[in-house]
Amino acid sequence: MSLPPFFSQSTNPHVLCVTGGLTGIGRAISLLFLSHGASVTINYFPGHNVNDEKLMSSMRSEGLQAIKSRNANSTITNDSEVPLLCIPGDISQQETSTSLVSQCVEKFGRLDTFVSNAGICKFEEFLEISPESWSRHRDTNLSGAFYAVQAAARYMSSHGGGSIIGISSISALVGGAQQCHYTPTKAGVLSLMQSCATALGQYGIRCNALLPGTIRTQLNEDDLKDGSEKKTYMEGRIPLRRLGEPDDMAGPALWLAVPELSGYVSGSTILVDGGAFVNFQ
């Protein structure tokens, strides 16, 4: 049985903002929040995907379907009414986050939950990682998270607080032979959420980190394609015996956004990995 919507679409709807929200984990989180009555703003990096316009169009239609499937009485009846704002921008640049939060608040009147999700990961041998590749991963994954979280916190600190969620990774806790430029950035996101929890609690802002395990997204679709030895190997290491899907991340994000469910949770590290981290034996 599907849960009823957590948020009201008619009176002061919950407002979510997500970086990297056009695909993968960010998209799944956005669609789940839409289905629960939230208004959603997403950031995306223009030209990074094959067809941005098609992805935005399909997201609106999927959003409408998600809304109607959870609330048959919703007054939203067509794609154009879906409360979704899509804003292009390079999250590694500070002004992108400042503008993102500003446009979100201008459109929807508030900001309740912010998810710093945007990230890149290109598998490379450590000895072959160029300074340019290192800088690109650091600037997008870590500097981008810092700028985004700071922009959200500056608004929330003077508007009653909110929930900030950093999408870190199981890679913040364990090494990856072809991820030496990636794992440090995700450890940084985890540390950022822990420090922000202590810095921002006085403003009523809760900061938590979600650590996905092996989630099938556009970042690893070639590496974990069906029938590959690596996919079989990874599934064998996971106690739940399957790879994660973006939807597996959306529920925990929703839980962290709802004060009635997680209002005393801040500074937490939540693994969403099917049990992979604890499966040493």
The pLDDT value recorded for residue 235 is: 86
pLDDT at 226: 73
Q: Which of 168, 169, 171, 262 is catalytic?
A: 168
- At 194 the pLDDT is 98
Q: Please give the pLDDT value at position 81.
A: 96
Q: Is 182 a catalytic residue?
A: yes
Residue 9, pLDDT score: 67
pLDDT for the residue numbered 136: 97
> Does the annotation count 155 as an active-site position?
no
Q: Which of 110, 97, 130, 77 is nearest to 18 (CA)?
A: 97
pLDDT at 281: 66
Q: Residue 61 has what pLDDT?
A: 97
Best CA proximity match to 256, nearest among 115, 147, 145, 128: 115
- Domains of the chain are 15-272 (3.40.50.720)
Please list the pLDDT of the chain residue by residue as tens digits (281 residues). Answer: 578 888 876 678 899 999 999 999 999 999 999 999 999 999 999 977 778 999 999 999 999 999 999 998 899 999 999 999 999 999 999 999 999 999 999 999 999 999 999 999 999 999 999 999 999 999 999 999 999 999 999 999 999 999 999 999 999 999 999 999 999 999 999 999 999 999 999 999 999 999 999 998 766 666 667 777 778 888 888 999 999 999 999 999 999 999 999 999 999 999 999 999 999 76
Active-site choice (44, 147, 155, 182): 182
Position 222 scores a pLDDT of 67
Catalytic status, residue 264: no
